[in-house]
Amino acid sequence: MSASKGVALVTGAGRGIGRAIALRLARDGYSLALNDTSPNRAAVAAVQSEIAQITYSGRPAKAVGVPADVTDEGQVQEMVRRTVEELGAVDVMVANAGILKARPSLVETSLADFDATFAVNVRGVFLCYKYAAQQMIAQHRQRGGAPASTGCSIIGAASVTSKQAWAGLSAYSASKWAVRGLTQASALELAPYGIRVNAYAPGLVDTKMVERIAVESNREHSRYIAEESRNIPLKRLGTPDDVANLVAFLVSDKASYITGAFDTSRGTYKQPPQN
Ligand code: NAD
C-alpha cells in the first residue's frame, strides 16, 4: 500500500471544523498542509504535533504549516507553491476558513463588516479554488490527462444559511450563497480534468464561532446550545467531526461520481418557524 493517499491543503486548520478535517484526513492517509493566519501559528503547530502521532500504513502522517491570509492573492499563491514544494502536490483543497461578524440587523451592518465577511468567505474561497485548480490541472496534464487518473477534489465551506435565510445573518448568508454559486460553476468547469468540487453546508456546529454567537446573544454557551438544540431535528448541534466525516467521504473514491453537490447536514438543518 502506498504511504500516502495524496496531499490535502486545509485552510483555517488551527481550530474548529478545519482542525477536525485535517486530523481526519491524516488518519485516512493524506499528508497535510495546514493553513491559518500567521497569528495562529501556535494553534497550527499544535495540530501538526497531533498529526505527527498518527500512523498510516506503518508510517507517521506528515504535516507542514503553510500560514497565509486567504484574502491575499499573493499569500494564497505562495501557500499553494509551498505545499507543492514541501509535499509534492495538491490533491485536495478544503477552503474552510471563514468568519462570522457580529449579528446585527441589515440596517445596522457596517460596510466594513460586510466587506470583511466577503473578503474571507468569498474572495478567500475563490482564491483557494483558483490556485488549487491551476495546480490540479497541471498535475492532470503530468499524469497523462485521463480524468479518472487525477482523484483531485476541492471542497468549500458553505452553510445552511446559504440555502435558508436566517435573520441577523444577511452579510454572512449572502457570502455563503456566493460559495454555493462558485462551487457549482467550478464543478462544471473542472469536471473535464477529473477534479470534483463540492461544499459542506452545515447548520450550527459547536465551535468558537458558535461560542461568539452565544456571547453576542447574551446567553451562556450551555444555555444557547440547549435552546438551539430544540429547533434541530436531531436535537443536538453538529460537531466538527460530523463535518470531517462528510469531507472524508466527499474526497474518497466512494464519492467519485459526486460533484457540484452542496450538502446540508439534515440533522442540523434548523426547522423553519412553525405556524
Ligand atoms: P472558527 O472560527 O472556529 O475557525 C475558523 C478558522 O479560520 C480560525 O482558525 C481562523 O483563524 C481561520 N481564519 C479566519 N480568517 C482567515 C483568513 N483570512 N485566512 C486564513 N485563515 C483564516 O470557525 P468554524 O466554526 O470552525 O468554521 C469553519 C468554516 O465552517 C467557516 O467557513 C464557517 O463559516 C463554516 N461554518 C461554520 C458553522 C458553525 O456553526 N460553526 C456552520 C456552517 C458553516
Residue 99, ligand 1, Cβ within 6 A:
yes
Q: Which CATH number goes with the domain that contains 197?
A: 3.40.50.720
Give the chain's domain count. 1
Q: How far is CA 137 from the centre of its chain?
A: 21
> How much is the average pLDDT of 9-22?
98
Structural domain contains residue 165: yes
Mutational test site, ligand 1, from 113, 205, 213, 241, max ligand atoms within 8 Å of CB: 205
> How much is the average pLDDT of 247-253?
96
Residue 275 pLDDT level (bands cut at 50, 70, 90): very low
Structural domain contains residue 212: no
Nearest to 70 by CA among 157, 183, 192: 157
- Say which DSSP state 272 is in: P
Checking if the pLDDT of 23 tops 60, the result is yes
* Phi, psi values for residue 219, rounded to 5°: -125, 145
Nearest to 240 by CA among 7, 22, 11: 22
Ranges assigned E (strand) in 35-130: 55-56, 59-60, 63-65, 92-95
Q: How far is CA 94 from the centre of its chain?
A: 5
Residue 40 is which amino acid?
N
Distance from residue 99's CA to the centre of ligand 1 (Å): 5
CA distance 23 to 25: 6
How many residues belong to the chain? 275
Region of residue 30 (left: phi > 0; alpha: psi -120 to 50; beta: else):
beta
Structural domain contains residue 244: yes
Structural domain contains residue 274: no
pLDDT value, residue 49: 97
Q: How do residues 84-126 score in pLDDT, each as one tens digit?
A: 999 999 999 999 999 998 777 899 999 999 999 999 999 999 9
Q: How do residues 157-166 score in pLDDT, each as one tens digit?
A: 999 999 888 8
Structural domain contains residue 233: no
CB atoms within 10 A of CB 6: 21
Residue 238, ligand 1, Cβ within 6 A:
no
Structural domain contains residue 228: no
Give the residue numbers spanning the domain of 75.
6-203+239-263
Q: Which residues contact 56 (CB under 8 A, 6 or more apart)?
A: 3, 4, 26, 27, 28, 29
Residue 69, ligand 1, Cβ within 6 A:
yes
Kindly give the pairing relationship between strand 153-157 and strand 92-95. Answer: parallel
Give rounded-to-5 percent helix, strand, coil for the chain. Answer: 50, 15, 35
Q: How do residues 52-75 score in pLDDT, each as one tens digit?
A: 999 998 999 999 999 999 999 999
Structural domain contains residue 216: no
Structural domain contains residue 217: no
